[in-house]
Structure 1
Amino acid sequence: MTNERFLRIDGRDNVLVALQDLKPGVVEADGVAIDVPQPVPQKHKFLTECLSKGDKIYMYGVPVGSANEDLPIGTMITIENVTHFADPISLDNRKKYEWQAPDVSAWEERTFQGYHRPDGKVGTANYWLFIPLVFCENRNLKAIEETLKSSLGYKKPNEYLQYAHELIGGVMEQEMPLRNRVFENVDGIKFLYHDGGCGGTRGDAETLLRLLAGYLQHPNVAGATVLSLGCQHAQVQWFQEIQEELYPQASKPVIYLEQQVIQSEEKLIKKAIADTIEQLKEANQIERKPAPLSKLVVGLECGGSDGFSGISANPAVGYASDLLVALGASTVLSEFPELNGVEQDIIDRCTADRVAEKFVDIQRAYEAQARAAGSGFDMNPSPGNIKDGLITDAIKSAGAAKKGGRAPVSDVLDYTEPVTRPGLNLLCTPGNDVESTTGLAGSGASIILFTTGLGTPTGNPLASVIKISSNTSLSERMSDIIDLDAGPITRGEKNIEQVGEEILEKIIAVASGEKTKAMDLEQNDFILWKRGVSL
């Protein structure tokens, strides 16, 4: 049930979500008068029944916590009076799952304008990529970036120079005019700065190389220049072997340069610039051409979530995901810590026993690793989450999982494994926003739908990140980072399906070359998950 003041998400729930700040007093829900003894801030929850100590709190139709003490009806739930609870999971009693796909007749003949690759994939952008195999090459990378972006017309004007000169009372010298883009069909040159490749464990180096292989073979990449020092753990030959293992059909141009073989740093940089410009001439010959929507690979991510995320933005993204799956595309739901509490639903939706078993194996191993380090999935909500009503991991997870819609789970991928199947995929990543989006792009997502309730500027070097706000206040307050607002859902002005269809139209536009806010801001976040405990 819902009105303009509060919402019951599922008929089995024993809490209501405040859609606006509620003052103490009596409210009526389903014909029951509820005395709310304290103010309830917008997005927080209050009980529709009395609970004894140990009784379960239900939200989204699943248990999300247990009462720490006897709680009267109308009590607002908090981290003091409620503890995280999630049902145990079982592979033995998987339920038969049936899914009614949404009507996609309006999009069956639609296409997007993409870059067709020799391996059959279609990119939504055409980038040249620079990859350092070790952090020692970051300085060289910086020199190359400054040179190529300025000389080839990719440099963005610095809008703060004049402001800084005014503050110090100086007169700004005339800036060199920015030149037009030399290669019209090359959307940009991207640089993957990182702190890995040497030191740490051999496992860290292997994970880095597997991730970098996914970036090099990403559908948005025309080719790459790889810089190596020479003595690091992450050797060129090892990198090539991993590419052959994960991407046997790969055939794009790659320039490999090793600093300890070339006579000087200056010669390395000049050769990297010269060889890359020659390859850019070839990459510029590739033009956008129509492609079916089934060629899309779309990541599903959230960050800076609030109490409305699971009510508006996440289910709208879930409906867009269902539309894409029905059209034969691939979607990828990440952040395994944020599936804690909804695992059984995921298990029931898996299309095969092996898929369900892989999910359970990865999830249990991840949880055990967290426990061994003195942490756990129940510690996942951040201070910002808690302040905005996500007080247990199960509450956060049940809302976060809505991004996956209701489609069956066609495959489960461990970190750095590439997407190979259409349908809804699950990818093991941590809940950390950038580590997760980095992993989504590394597995092949060319577009990432990113929902947020508090606001986060996260972007990615290769994947176009579409930012979707859960509330209109955020969209208005941080309009420079938000692409689409799902806030009208909480006001009853639009339904989930309508906003989901708007998201699909936005995906098609971005896949055809429209820039997102994160792209305009050049928010190129790239952080490797070293497989330690990161929630």
Structure 2
Amino acid sequence: MQRRLIKVQETDNVGIALVDLSKGEKIRFEGEDIVTLSDTRAKHKIALESLMEGDKIIMYGVLVGKATSTIDKGGLLTTENVKHQSAIVKAKTQTFSWNPPDVSKWKDRTFMGYHRPDGQVGTQNVWLFFPLVFCENRNIEILKEAFEKELAIGKISKQRQLLRNLIHGNDIGFNDDNSENTQRTFENIEVKFITHQGGCGGIRQDSQTLAKLLAGYVKNPNVAGATVLSLGCQNLQINLLKEALDTLDSNLQKPVLVYEQQQMGTIEGMLNTIIKESFEGIKEANKIQREPAPLSKLKMGLECGGSDGFSGISANPALGYASDILAALGGSPILSEFPELCGVEQELVNRCVKDEDASRFIQLMKDYEASAEQVGSGFDMNPSPGNIKDGLITDAMKSAGAAKKGGTSPIQAILDYGEYVVKPGLNLLCTPGNDVESTTGMVGSGANVVVFTTGLGTPTGNPIAPVLKVSSNTELAKRMPDIIDIDTGAVIRGERTIEEMGEVILENVIKVASGEIIAKADQLGQDDFIPWKRGVSL
């Protein structure tokens, strides 16, 4: 019989419903009877003891809120009777020690990747086109249309085929001379394109930050070379990109072709030059072959979005175990989304190897929340309507589950947005909680693969790094099979342990990193790219 209620940590005073519970239902839990006082949907929380107004709500062993009115034992926690609250963190409070998982069966494992001159290894081989300013987005789109059609990057979409059939009277066999050639021209290289709305019109700091992000995409091991378009008069000047690249790697050994429209005359002449020269670079990059690489060469972004009340007890801790294995092997897991670490700062501070990293993390969190409060918001406004509907009713409650993606390993580095991952082990990267902005930032900091947990479903992907989706529950995996790569619902049903599911995740990461399977987001062509804009438009 499936369990009906679970408590995450021994000190918790709330439990999570694993199935829908009816009002008046009696549950035998930890040696005593708990009677539900109202209908409670799966993923939501009930009080395991009577709580008075002002009492602390403890979950995952940390403070996640306070009662704003009396909640009797068996009562449902809601946004009406619980308010966000988190502990105040000032410095380390204890010495941290780690008992790493047994990695003996993983230490000799490899993935088939693209080796770069700087020692990094890519999971994909991409030639990347991007603009320095939004004024060049149209030219990027023209190049995208030309290259994608002529290099046959995939088949005509089912939606376009449907429309063709409708236009031509449902003639399923309709074909014409303009239909795409589905034969790939190059087997070892992908050509990808990104656009954005930055580079000018905002504060200069945003352009400088964007330059660092774009430089990180060029530096990313998944990129073999890049074509960059500049208008000429924008804030994000070519020299800013070159300075950012030089900061990352003063001896960058990959081709970067830069074109400035205001110096090249007509659009047609410029585009013709770009196509000819980029094509030669793409042909050369196609010669690079996959070769074996140790798992220590993986930099794995840890992301969650569309979270639900099961995310923190199935998908996230399973990913956390995979993260611990990778960290123990010398790889680099990357935990981001700082607004979704609110409430678990003390645990993370205590896990920092260096005191200066602990201090930097505290300061970045304070500065971030202060900037949110300046515009009338705050971390306590973080849970989305979807989160709340599916059982995450305070930011601290959401954060306590989200942080489980980072496992239990020591934190080796604290990075601000746009800084690149160079240290093996767990890295914390300051990004927003916004799914695409966070994923965009992690890949710009070197992630060559991203694992994305979700309880509600999201199609988010990335132009240059594969993004694997992990569902927290089987219902989602069955409802949206086209976006879910891995289902951790067996943990909820008690059929698999966190550790077993973590190993399943890592096995899938290795297969995707080796090109053996294609992540669902890549199958859908989901190339999302949104830089974090911290300032205002001017």
Normalised by the shorter chain, which TM-score bucket? Answer: over 0.9
Q: Distance in 2 between matches of 1:165 and 1:253?
A: 40
Amino acid at match of 2:200: C
Deviations 1:461-480 (A, max 9, x none): 01110000000000000000
Point out where structure 2 has 5 or more consecutive residues left out of the alignment.
none
Amino acid at match of 2:51: L
User: TM-score normalized by structure 1?
Assistant: 0.97
Deviations 1:369-411 (A, max 9, x none): 1111111101000000000000000110000000000000000
Q: Distance in 2 between matches of 1:248 and 1:165?
A: 51
Does residue 73 of the first structure (1) align with residue 76 of the second (2)?
Answer: no
Partner of 2:109: 110
Q: Distance in 2 between matches of 1:242 and 1:168?
A: 49
Contact 1:299 1:448 in 2 (8 A): yes
Point out where structure 1 has 5 or more consecutive residues left out of the alignment.
none
Deviations 1:316-365 (A, max 9, x none): 00000000001110010010000000000000000010110110110110
Q: Distance in 2 between matches of 1:321 and 1:279?
A: 36
Amino acid at match of 2:205: G
Deviates more, 1:26-35 or 1:483-492: 26-35
Q: Distance in 2 between matches of 1:20 and 1:167?
A: 45
Deviations 1:145-167 (A, max 9, x none): 11111112214312123322444
Q: Structure 1 residue 486: deviation in Å?
A: 0.5
Partner of 2:246: 244
Partner of 1:54: 54
Contact 1:151 1:179 in 2 (8 A): no
Does residue 122 of the first structure (1) align with residue 121 of the second (2)?
Answer: yes
**1:27-426 matches, cutoff 5 A:** 27-91=27-91, 93-167=92-166, 170=169, 172-174=174-176, 175-186=178-189, 188-426=190-428
Q: Distance in 1 between matches of 2:180 and 2:139?
A: 25
Partner of 1:520: 523
Contact 1:335 1:430 in 2 (8 A): yes
Partner of 2:3: 4
Deviates more, 1:75-84 or 1:136-145: 136-145
Amino acid at match of 1:152: L
Runs of 4+ in 1 over 6 A off after TM superposition: none
Contact 1:69 1:81 in 2 (8 A): yes
Aligned with 1:224: secondary structure? strand
Q: Structure 1 residue 248: deviation in Å?
A: 2.4
Q: Distance in 1 between matches of 2:522 and 2:205?
A: 32
Amino acid at match of 1:39: D
Does residue 452 of the first structure (1) align with residue 451 of the second (2)?
Answer: no
Amino acid at match of 1:491: R
Contact 1:24 1:36 in 2 (8 A): yes
Deviates more, 1:278-287 or 1:439-448: 278-287
Q: Percent identity?
A: 55
Amino acid at match of 2:44: H
Q: Distance in 2 between matches of 1:461 and 1:163?
A: 26
Partner of 1:529: 532
Amino acid at match of 1:42: A
Amino acid at match of 2:215: A
Paired residues in the alignment total 530
Q: Structure 1 residue 42: deviation in Å?
A: 0.6
Deviations 1:48-94 (A, max 9, x none): 11111100111111111111112211110000000111111021x43
Q: Structure 1 residue 484: deviation in Å?
A: 0.3
Q: Distance in 2 between matches of 1:68 and 1:176?
A: 63
Superposition RMSD in Å: 1.4
Contact 2:203 2:535 in 1 (8 A): no
Q: Distance in 1 between matches of 2:136 and 2:535?
A: 25
Q: Structure 1 residue 3: deviation in Å?
A: 5.8
**Cα 1:234–1:177 shift into 2, 3 Å:** closer
Aligned with 1:260: secondary structure? helix
Amino acid at match of 2:161: Q
User: TM-score normalized by structure 2?
Assistant: 0.96
Partner of 1:506: 508
Deviations 1:219-245 (A, max 9, x none): 000111111111111111121011111
Aligned with 1:450: secondary structure? strand
Amino acid at match of 1:85: Q
